[in-house]
Structure 1
Amino acid sequence: MNNSVNKKQILIYGAYGYTGELIARKAVAKGLKPILSGRSAAKLQPLANELGLPAIAVSLDDDDALARTLRDVAAVINCAGPFSATAEPMIRACIASGTHYQDITGEMAVYQLAHGLDAEARAAGVVLCPGTGFDVIPTDCLAAALHREMYSATHLTLGFDSDSGLSPGTAKTSIESLGVGGAVRRNGKIEVTPHAELTRKINFGRGEKFAVAIPWGDVATAYYSTEIPNIEVYIPMSPRRAKKMQKLNALRWLLRMKWVQNWLKGKVDDKVRGPSENQRAEQQTWVWGEVRNDRRGERRVGRVVTANGYDVTVHGSLAVVEFLLDYQGEGGYFTPSKLCGHELVEKLPGSGVIKIGID
């Protein structure tokens, strides 16, 4: 039974962050009236005043206040990273209050957490759908489309090529992975790999490029969507930069330390700004995928071009929350393609259609 059926209000948590503010502004442009929320009332209020929206400052450490805040809310979009700190308390509060949960994370641990809470969410009639932004809508939808073409696939490789810079939140998430390494899925299990250990040449859609495997969220989510047991995700990178990444492997022990993490994240706060609207308008993203069944000698390649990652995140998160406002199905953990279908990416402004062939 869906607890949220009579609720129509949405809440954006972390609304004063770079991406949270973009989502809030676009929500208003679409005629929505979200509640703006976050830890700091001082940061919330100017945006709320400008947009004419209600604002509620609440800490994720305050269970009672969070429960009261979510009581009449149908769905939350969590935009407050790093999600390693914010996802679990918000997810648990959503399950307790019968509120659907989504976020814009790319962090594998959050996907694994939400997947592990599937039974609790199902019992509460609550949808858990982390990753409703560029992490991981385009790659997840392409993975699902490729799986439909080859249900017998044993290997899935994904990748994307973009000129977009990092938002502050994404930069901080990247810093957290420096002390860990890369990640791939082998025979159904996630394995940590050294930085830049796996390389190959890929034509993402605008010519062949040298590429390096990264610990992208699909190492978790694409498996939940397709059950393909072997998964890797790549981005283009110069061979010179890949060699610099490899040198970091000897320092992973140091890069894991809290004081080093905090120092690097402080640098982000000082120096990293998200791209302007004009910059975003000029930045497309080329998404590529490959499925193989090596025993049968079969291979298919898929591609889709999308808008830049930030616009995908804004439009994608709002498309999913609007879907959830009218949702009548079961609760539980979902990937974006499992919840909304692999066609979701094709419906987003700036996206083309998924094209699949032998190359």
Structure 2
Amino acid sequence: MNNKNIMIYGANGYTGELIARKAVAQGYRPILAGRNPQKLQPLTDELNLAAMVIDLESTDTLERSLQDIYLVIHCAGPFSTTAGPMMRACINSKTHYQDITGEIAVFEAAHKLEAEARAAGVVLCPGTGFDVIPTDCLAAALHKKMPTATHLTLGFDSDSGLSPGTAKTSIESLGAGGAIRRNGKIEAIGHGELTREIDFGRGAKFAVSIPWGDVATAFYSTGIPNIEAYIPMSPQRAKKLKRLNSIRWLLSTRWMQNWLKSKVEKSVHGPDKERRTGQKTWVWGEVRNDRRGERKVGRVLTANGYDVTVSGSLAVMEFLLSYTGEGGYFTPSALCGPGLVEKLPGSSNIEIRIA
């Protein structure tokens, strides 16, 4: 077993705890860290692991705490607030960084740190879970089959419930609206502005574009300049979503954000193991070159999104424990290869066909 020190920051959160438990089950002894000692202590006692209480706003303390850490799996959201300080501290302490975010802003921030991370020999790989690993790997595989593609569309169909962290991230996007990539640039669009029919893998469904992380990551993995991401949604719900555009200004205010997030803390707990075990996720992608009239469609079936996040994060961790390459910003497929998703428990092989 590799003796390099691993830290799981935010281990007391829903997904962080799942990752910590699985890491121990696989024989690893990660250091558990977070901001709240009362929430962190029960898990460290149960798993008999070392713990660190670290406030991300205390820059000097954070960097000192990372001096002997080889790799951080960052699980404490909202990542729009927490990822920046942790990535900067990892660069300064020469610690590899990965997280479980799906937020466009975090991927863009990590990409801007590319040169600094490369100079420090540090890998920055945000998004080492769902949905980014499956869609990113599928995007890279589709691009390999059609290197001349000008348009990429991705999406997934899942019955999975939300963890508190994911729910809070969704609330943050309510005031921002949607997002797509056009001609290489990310553009803001209205909620529910783009819709289409998609067969994700279990029949055609009405689908709506969402501001998912792939709008950022898939561009860095493939270079395809036009990217959209979709999930299935009933037409009635899509109409309700579209109505939110008129009050986005209100939904973005601090007091409204805080109120909505407080409701999440009281009512959202994340799916239990039994529910996760019975769920699958259908992931779909399409590449096009309209000038040539070419189109290909790819699909991959994965486990429940949270189980993908656990197994995916640990798979990237294991890859980095023996990594000898250069530092810099990486997407999961750029770091570990498009076949990463196929190696995860519950995943099928990627299938691509001419459409």
Deviations 1:168-207 (A, max 9, x none): 0000000000001000000101000000010000000000
Q: 1:278 aligns with which of 252, 274, 278?
A: 274
Separation of aligned partners in 1, 2:57 and 2:336: 32
| Counterpart residue type for residue 166 of structure 1 | L
| Counterpart residue type for residue 184 of structure 1 | I
Query: 1:208-247 residue pairs with structure 2 within 5 A?
Result: 208-247=204-243
Name 2:244's counterpart in structure 1: 248
Separation of aligned partners in 2, 1:203 and 1:147: 20
Name 1:158's counterpart in structure 2: 154
Alpha-carbon contact 1:137-1:336 (below 8 Å) kept: yes
2:296 pairs with 1:300: yes
Compute the TM-score of the two structures, normalised by the length of structure 2.
0.99
Compute the TM-score of the two structures, normalised by the length of structure 1.
0.98
Query: 1:18-167 residue pairs with structure 2 within 5 A?
Result: 18-167=14-163
| Counterpart residue type for residue 214 of structure 2 | D
Separation of aligned partners in 2, 1:59 and 1:95: 17
Q: What is the aligned-residue RMSD (CA, Å)?
A: 0.8
| Counterpart residue type for residue 12 of structure 1 | I
Q: How far has the Cα of 1:69 moved from its partner?
A: 1.2
Q: Stretches of 4+ moved more than 2 A in 1?
A: none
Alpha-carbon contact 1:84-1:109 (below 8 Å) kept: yes
| Counterpart residue type for residue 313 of structure 1 | T
2:165 pairs with 1:169: yes
Name 1:356's counterpart in structure 2: 352
Q: How far has the Cα of 1:41 moved from its partner?
A: 1.1
Name 2:179's counterpart in structure 1: 183
Give the secondary structure class of the aligned counterpart of 2:70: strand
Q: How far has the Cα of 1:311 moved from its partner?
A: 0.2
Separation of aligned partners in 1, 2:111 and 2:239: 35
Q: How far has the Cα of 1:358 moved from its partner?
A: 1.6
- Taking a change above 3 Å as real, the CA distance of residues 333 and 7 of structure 1, as seen in their structure-2 partners, is farther
Q: How far has the Cα of 1:11 moved from its partner?
A: 0.2
Q: How far has the Cα of 1:65 moved from its partner?
A: 1.5
Q: How far has the Cα of 1:287 moved from its partner?
A: 0.1
Give the secondary structure class of the aligned counterpart of 2:196: strand
| Counterpart residue type for residue 19 of structure 1 | T
Deviations 1:87-137 (A, max 9, x none): 000000000000000000011000000000000000000000000010300
2:294 pairs with 1:319: no
Separation of aligned partners in 2, 1:20 and 1:147: 32
Structure 2 spans left out of the alignment, 5+ residues: none
| Counterpart residue type for residue 275 of structure 1 | P
Alpha-carbon contact 1:184-1:192 (below 8 Å) kept: yes
Give the secondary structure class of the aligned counterpart of 1:231: strand
Structure 1 spans left out of the alignment, 5+ residues: 1-5
Name 1:265's counterpart in structure 2: 261
Alpha-carbon contact 1:123-1:331 (below 8 Å) kept: yes
| Counterpart residue type for residue 6 of structure 2 | I
Q: How far has the Cα of 1:67 moved from its partner?
A: 1.4
Deviations 1:6-55 (A, max 9, x none): 97110000000000000000000000000000001111111001001000
| Counterpart residue type for residue 51 of structure 1 | L
Q: How far has the Cα of 1:142 moved from its partner?
A: 0.1
Separation of aligned partners in 2, 1:134 and 1:18: 14
Separation of aligned partners in 2, 1:166 and 1:274: 5
Q: 2:284 aligns with which of 284, 288, 292?
A: 288
Matched pairs, number:
354
Q: How far has the Cα of 1:263 moved from its partner?
A: 0.2
Give the secondary structure class of the aligned counterpart of 2:72: strand
Q: 2:6 aligns with which of 10, 32, 53?
A: 10
Q: How far has the Cα of 1:68 moved from its partner?
A: 1.8
Identity %: 73
Q: How far has the Cα of 1:63 moved from its partner?
A: 1.4
Q: 2:335 aligns with which of 320, 339, 344?
A: 339
